[in-house]
């Protein structure tokens, strides 16, 4: 998929998201109905969020309202005159039975923060932070870690270990275990299935994607602080039979449960000295979209670079809304976006302490 095609797809996909947002936030702002539901507690394995809906009407973000200027809570002009302009309906009353969502299950762990998509059983995004010090530490070893379901997600929305069994896909880390070697417990937490998505193994997760993760770690040799957001995408593809665009993806599990992404993204924020908050330092940003498919190691990483706005439109997310343009730089213009390719079999042998002269490296530009 070319960069221009991806940009077109991203622009088109924004429409559906905008419509959903408009529908969700167009509830009548004149409703004063009080909710009488008890306090509810939403829990993940690491965070607890309490909400109390008994003391206020349904909150509608002011900037999402559709009232005329100067009339913050204007009534609908279609309301019957016999009712004195008051609406005869109250759609928000349904919330007395419960709020339908969508709900994002947030988890804050030692080495990552994640947001889980209950519908597709994959993360929306997973955030990590690596530094020269964190990458240099070697207190964790993945041979002591095991994949585990996240009981912070309700069982009916959860990705299951059995979903991946004989599926033909790897349990693909979004934040790699190798980025959490500074602590065994931190590394263990990267094995929650809320940090996973189905990835093609040979040629991708075990090869090109792994080299890409290594590239991110090597950025700490140039920058003192590197923050990364990783997640799946489900992009449309043109069907040559009718020349129309379709979103098609496999769903693994029995019964079908976990969606298989068509693509994955990484948005990288490489911070220079003085970029800590609050700061005025420069931040080198790189956004990349890779297909969930085998990729030849000879393929330049720069071929997968896209504008950050394209990832935002395709994902429905915003990554740098508070970072002013004057502080931004393009990552691949500030440093070499080159992968160091090492045979996966050699990397596997590294767990068994191979001889010092085993294997070799090749730089692809």
| Cα 257 from Cα 254, distance rounded (Å) | 7
Six-digit token pair at 75? 């009534």
Say if residue 236 is exposed, middle or buried (CB neighbours under 10 Å; 0-12, 13-18, 19+): middle
Please report the pLDDT score of residue 345 as a whole number.
47
pLDDT for residue 151: 97
Query: Is-catalytic flag, 173?
Result: yes
**In Å, what is the CA distance from 145 to each residue of 76, 198, 342?**
58, 19, 24
What does the alpha-carbon distance between residue 245 and residue 243 come to, in Å, rounded to a whole number? 7
Per-residue pLDDT of the chain (365 residues; tens, 9 = 90+): 666 666 555 544 444 444 433 343 344 443 444 434 444 444 444 443 433 333 344 444 444 444 444 444 444 444 455 556 799 999 999 999 999 999 999 999 999 999 999 999 999 999 999 999 999 999 999 999 999 999 999 999 999 999 999 999 999 999 999 999 999 999 999 999 999 999 999 999 999 999 999 999 999 999 999 999 999 999 999 999 999 999 999 999 999 999 999 999 999 999 998 655 656 789 999 999 999 999 999 999 999 999 999 999 999 999 999 999 999 999 999 999 999 997 754 555 554 444 444 434 344 43
Using the CB atoms, write b or e for 336-351: b if 16+ within 10 Å: ebbbebbebeebeeee
Q: Which helix (H) or strand (E) holds 124?
A: strand 122-130
Q: Check 124, 129, 173, 263 and give the catalytic one.
A: 173
CB atoms within 10 A of CB 330: 15
Please tell me the distance from the alpha carbon of residue 141 to that of residue 143, in angstroms, as a whole number: 5
d(CA 298, CA 362): 10
* Span 315-361, pLDDT tens digits: 999 999 999 999 999 999 999 999 999 775 455 555 444 444 443 43
What is the three-class DSSP state of 52?
A: coil
């Amino acid at each position: 998929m070319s960069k221009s095609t991806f940009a077109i797809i991203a622009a088109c996909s924004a429409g559906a998201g905008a419509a959903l947002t408009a529908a969700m936030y167009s509830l009548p702002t004149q409703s004063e109905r009080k909710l009488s539901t008890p306090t509810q507690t939403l829990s993940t394995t690491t965070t607890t969020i309490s909400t109390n809906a008994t003391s206020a009407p349904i909150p509608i973000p002011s900037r999402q309202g559709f009232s005329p200027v100067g009339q913050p809570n204007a009534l609908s002009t279609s309301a019957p005159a016999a009712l004195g302009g008051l609406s005869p309906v109250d759609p928000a009353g349904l919330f007395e039975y419960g709020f339908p969502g969508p709900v994002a299950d947030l988890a804050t762990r030692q080495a990552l923060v994640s947001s889980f998509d209950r519908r597709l059983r994959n993360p929306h995004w997973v955030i990590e932070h690596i530094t020269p010090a964190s990458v240099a530490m070697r207190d964790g070893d993945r041979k002591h870690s095991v994949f585990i379901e996240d009981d912070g997600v309700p069982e009916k929305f959860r990705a299951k270990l059995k979903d991946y069994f004989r599926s033909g896909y790897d349990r693909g880390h979004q934040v790699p275990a190798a980025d959490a070697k500074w602590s065994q417990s931190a590394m263990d937490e990267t094995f929650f299935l809320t940090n996973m998505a189905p990835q093609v193994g040979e040629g991708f997760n075990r090869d090109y994607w792994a080299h890409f993760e290594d590239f991110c770690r090597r950025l700490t040799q140039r920058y003192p602080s590197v923050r990364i957001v990783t997640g799946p995408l489900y992009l449309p593809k043109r069907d040559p039979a009718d020349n129309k665009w379709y979103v098609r993806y496999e769903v693994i599990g029995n019964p079908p449960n976990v969606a298989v992404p068509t693509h994955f993204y990484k948005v990288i924020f490489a911070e220079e000295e003085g970029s800590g908050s609050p700061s005025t330092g420069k931040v080198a940003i790189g956004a990349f979209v890779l297909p969930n498919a085998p990729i030849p190691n000879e393929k330049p990483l720069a071929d997968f670079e896209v504008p950050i706005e394209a990832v935002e439109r395709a994902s429905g997310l915003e990554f740098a809304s508070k970072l002013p343009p004057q502080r931004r730089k393009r990552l691949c213009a500030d440093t070499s976006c080159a992968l160091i390719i090492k045979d996966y079999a050699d990397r596997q042998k590294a767990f068994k302490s191979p001889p010092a002269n085993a294997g070799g490296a090749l730089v692809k530009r």
